[in-house]
Amino acid sequence: MKWMDRVFHAKYNETENKIDCLAPMDTEKYFFEDELVEIEEQLAEALKKHLG
């Protein structure tokens, strides 16, 4: 939720409008990418434990 009000700049692409298809404007990666990887890893681990 803390990402909801964050503005980010992406390179203009006339055919793509999904965040995972856009390229960051002035950085190597978006501000949320590292944290998103952590979140996804934690969710995968929790699911693995839950399913046994």
- What's residue 23's pLDDT? 86
CA angle in degrees (0–180, nearest 5) for 24-28-32: 70
First to last CA, the chain: 30
Residue 2 has pLDDT above 90, yes or no: no
Kindly report the length of the chain. 52
* 5-43 pLDDT, tens digit each: 888 888 888 888 787 788 888 888 888 889 989 999 999
Residue 44 has pLDDT above 90, yes or no: yes
pTM for the complete prediction?
0.60
Domain boundaries, the chain: 1-52
